[in-house]
Structure 1
Amino acid sequence: MYIQPIHPTQSDPVLSRLFKQAARELLHAPVKLRMALSPDYPWLVSGAVSRIEAFLKPEYRVFEWGGGRSTIFFARRTASVVTVEHARKWHRRLAARIEELDLRNVTLRFVEPHDPAQGDPPAPNPARPARWNDPEAREDKPQFRAYADAVLDYPDGHFDLVLVDGRARVACARNALDKLAPGGLLVLDNAEWPKYQPIRDMTHGWTTQSFANGVWETAVFTRPGDANASLERA
């Protein structure tokens, strides 16, 4: 089921804004209940979670920007998870949770944003894909350049699923596409926001499934190709 996300705005009449806020609370209630009952249930639209869970296999490899519940969810279902975080406090909390659960298949990377007081950010990773040469390929958040480039440390076709749920999402997706194996999934949370349209443009020709619960949308893009023809695993 797809329920168009509802977003109150300051330009809405007062009654309309109150109605939208109440509707969002009502629609969000099942999500809150599910998360309360299962502390490690991912903070994604439930339809997308079902799609992802049906896709995952024990030998699969996952990369994600923005860790938390999803990290635990993936770690319990796949061979390995690489998680990139930018917030030091949250990184520490997540690291403690991973250690508490003794999850040994998680690589938790901390890549903090560049501090403008230190001058210009480092140069882009030379391994960036050719799609960065597109005139439309703007870099809106250069302070997160190293964060978005973290996936470039891995070979093409290395991951079976990439979750984009952190900062600089367009730049992250631009770097991640080639890192997916054929048949792999690119998952974009909060996909209803117009600012993420470039990701939809980049994945033109991919199979796209959108799941929305009236509060937000999660989109799942499938890279063309036969998943059984993925690169041989090291």
Structure 2
Amino acid sequence: MLRKIYIILVHTIRVLAKKVGLLSLLESRRDRQSLLYVRSLFSIYDVDDMVQLDLPWWTFAAAAYVENFLRSKNGEANVFEYGPGASTVWLAKRARQVAFVEHDGDFAAVLRRLTEGVYNVSGVLIPPEINPRQALVAPSGRVGYENCDFENYVAAIRDAGGPFDMIVIDGRARNACLKEAVKHVKPNGIILFDNSRRERYRLAIEQVGFSPLRFPGLAPALPYLEETTILTRGGT
């Protein structure tokens, strides 16, 4: 309830901030991260605005690391996302190919609109199986998905054109996605695991056998600190 109230309040203030020119002023100073962060606070749960700001929804420090990594690939990186969003458009500007899997039909429609005409993005919609007869193979720890199996969602990467220079884990059943992702990332590639500060992800990250580079700090649109972790085989 408090989150909904906060979002409504911020979006209401954004209308006023736009009228008085505050948003334009902040956007004109995007070279200063502090001002860009303040501008992004008006973008909470607004993927269109995040796309307009050209921001992925990871911590600023992690995004800077990824920017440098992709630049080192000279625009030829092959990327896969579990859980697309504003990051999909951001990545498409910096990579050769971006593939994704999404579980929610409504958001998949939003992604189709956002990526219309973007030649190097492709994605599939794979909803979870609800109340399967067998035990859950790829469960999600998110409230409301207790009886959902994301086995097919996790497996989507197998037919997505790998191996990949970068794999993003920012959707559902993240622990299962991580276990699958390590099979499809290139030897010198990276895996980005967002919201890694959450306790339910800690053990999976520690046990996967990759070296974690943790990037705690500010993230666009969020009024609190977050953490994004980059996983490498140790030499990236």
Q: Which residue of 1 aligns with 2:165?
A: 160
- The answer on 1:95 being equivalent to 2:112 is yes
In structure 1, C-alpha distance between the alignment counterparts of 2:151 and 2:38, rounded to whole Å? 33
Q: Which residue of 2 aligns with 1:182?
A: 187
1:105 equivalent among 116, 120, 124: 120
User: TM-score normalised to the size of structure 1?
Assistant: 0.69
Give unmatched runs, 5+ long, in structure 1.
1-27, 125-138, 228-234
Give the Å deviation of 1:205: 4.8
Give unmatched runs, 5+ long, in structure 2.
1-33, 44-48, 141-147, 219-223
Check whether the contact 2:59–2:215 (CA below 8 A) recurs between aligned residues: no
Corresponding letter in the other structure for 1:222? T
Looking at both structures, which has the greater relative contact order when contacts are Cα pairs under 8 Å and sequence separation is at least 6?
Answer: 1
- RMSD of the TM alignment (CA)? 2.7
Over 3 Å counting, the alpha-carbon distance change for 1:55 and 1:201 in structure 2 is: same
2:231 equivalent among 221, 224, 231: 221
Kindly report structure 1 stretches of 4+ aligned residues shifted beyond 6 Å. 121-124
Give the Å deviation of 1:30: 5.3
Give the Å deviation of 1:221: 1.0
Corresponding letter in the other structure for 2:110? R
Q: Which residue of 1 aligns with 2:53?
A: 39
In structure 2, C-alpha distance between the alignment counterparts of 1:191 and 1:207, rounded to whole Å? 10
Residue 79 of structure 2 aligns to a residue in which SS?
Answer: strand
In structure 1, C-alpha distance between the alignment counterparts of 2:192 and 2:114, rounded to whole Å? 23
Over 3 Å counting, the alpha-carbon distance change for 1:188 and 1:85 in structure 2 is: same
Corresponding letter in the other structure for 2:69? F
Check whether the contact 2:103–2:128 (CA below 8 A) recurs between aligned residues: yes
Q: Which moved more, 1:215-224 or 1:34-43?
A: 34-43
The 5 Å alignment of 1:203-222 reads 203-213=208-218, 214-222=224-232
2:94 equivalent among 31, 52, 77: 77
User: TM-score normalised to the size of structure 2?
Assistant: 0.68
The 5 Å alignment of 1:119-130 reads 119-120=132-133
Over 3 Å counting, the alpha-carbon distance change for 1:212 and 1:104 in structure 2 is: same
What count of residue pairs does the alignment treat as equivalent?
Answer: 181
Q: Which residue of 2 aligns with 1:140?
A: 139
Give the Å deviation of 1:154: 5.0
Check whether the contact 1:41–1:73 (CA below 8 A) recurs between aligned residues: yes
Report percent identity of matched pairs. 29
Residue 230 of structure 2 aligns to a residue in which SS?
Answer: strand
